[in-house]
Amino acid sequence: MRNLMAVFLSGVLLGAGSAAGADDVVARLAAKLRVDPANIVPGPLPGVYRVVFGPQVAYISADGRYLLQGDIIDLTDHSNLTAIERNKARLIYIQQIGEQNMIMFGPPHPKHTLTVLTDIDCQYCRMLTRDMPQLNALGVAVRYLPFPRAGVGSASWNKAEQVWCAKDRQAAYLDAMLHDKLPGSTCEKNPVAAGYEFARLLEAEGTPVIITEEGQLIEGYLPAAQLAQALDQAAPTRP
C-alpha cells in the first residue's frame, strides 16, 4: 500500500488534536486527509477510525497522529475485517466507474460477473480473451476496463484508446486481442485514464487483474475451468 501512504501523507500534517465528539473527530480527520467525511467511520479498535480511499482501506488514530496500514483480524472467528471492507471498497469504486465504460462479454443471466483490468499488449490477457467463450458457456460474464501498464502516452495506451473509442467496442477488443487489428482512431472522451487510475490505486503491476463480484482480487491468469470452479466454490459464502 505504498501509493496509499503517499496519497495520505502528501501535503498532510498529522498532528495531535483535542478531545471532541465523534462527529467533530470525523470532520477534523476528513479535513486533514482531504477525503469525504462519509469515508471515515469508527474502526474495530477503540480510538481508531477506518478510512476508505478509493478501493483501499487504512486506519487513523482519533488524534490524527498515527496512520495504520495492514489487516485487522478478529480472533474470535479468524475473519479478516480489513479484507471484508477492502472488497466492499473495490466494488463501490467499480460501480462509480460505471459499466458504460466497460466492454462486457457474457450470457444474458450470468452466474458470476468478473471485472478485469486488461492490457492490449498482455499475452495472458489474450489467453483470457480466448477463454471467454468457455467462460460464458459456464455462466461467467467478463467486463473489461483498460490498464495499459506502460503508462500515459505509450503504444499500449494508444491501443487502449483506439479500442475504447470504437463504435463497436466488443468487436474492436476481439480484433485487437485475437488478430492484432486496431480501429486506428482515438477520441477525447474515453475511460483509459479511469482504468489506469484504478489499477494505480490497487497497486497492480501485472495483468490481467481480476476482481470477483465479491470484490476479491485475483492477480494473474487462471484457465477458464479453474476460474469458474473457484467462483462456484466461493458462491455459498455470500450473505
- Phi, then psi, of 112 in degrees rounded to 5: -140, 150
Q: Kindly report the CATH number assigned to the domain that includes residue 39.
A: 3.10.450.70
- pLDDT for 6 equals 54
Count the Cβ atoms, other than its own, within 10 Å of residue 141.
20
Q: Are residues 162 and 76 in the same domain?
A: no
Rg (CA), the chain: 20
Q: Are residues 82 and 46 in the same domain?
A: yes
Q: Are residues 145 and 61 in the same domain?
A: no
Residue that is last in its domain, among 42, 59, 93: 93
Cα–Cα distance between 184 and 105 in angstroms, integer? Answer: 22
Residue 102 near residue 143 (C-beta atoms within 8 A): yes
- pLDDT for 234 equals 80
Q: Are residues 115 and 32 in the same domain?
A: no
Instruction: Say whether 40 sits in a helix, a strand or coil.
Output: strand
Cα–Cα distance between 169 and 98 in angstroms, integer? Answer: 15
Residue 96 near residue 88 (C-beta atoms within 8 A): no
Q: Are residues 116 and 229 in the same domain?
A: yes
- pLDDT for 11 equals 43
Cα–Cα distance between 105 and 93 in angstroms, integer? Answer: 21
pLDDT tens per residue across all 239 residues of the chain = 555 555 454 444 444 444 457 788 999 999 999 999 999 999 999 999 999 999 999 999 999 999 999 999 999 999 999 999 999 999 999 999 999 999 999 999 999 999 999 999 999 999 999 999 999 999 999 999 999 999 999 999 999 999 999 999 999 999 999 999 999 999 999 999 999 999 999 999 999 999 999 999 998 999 999 999 999 988 655 44
Residue 165 near residue 185 (C-beta atoms within 8 A): yes
Q: Kindly report the CATH number assigned to the domain that includes residue 131.
A: 3.40.30.10
Residue 117 near residue 145 (C-beta atoms within 8 A): yes
Cα–Cα distance between 1 and 189 in angstroms, integer? Answer: 30
Q: Are residues 107 and 196 in the same domain?
A: yes
Regarding pTM above 0.85, the answer is: yes
Number of domains in the chain: 2
- pLDDT for 137 equals 96
Residue 109 domain boundaries = 100-237
Strands 67-68 and 56-61: antiparallel
Q: Are residues 119 and 138 in the same domain?
A: yes
Residue that is last in its domain, among 39, 66, 93: 93
Q: Are residues 113 and 218 in the same domain?
A: yes
Would the CA dihedral through 56, 97, 188, 185 be positive or negative? Answer: positive
Residue 89 near residue 52 (C-beta atoms within 8 A): yes
Residue 151 near residue 168 (C-beta atoms within 8 A): no
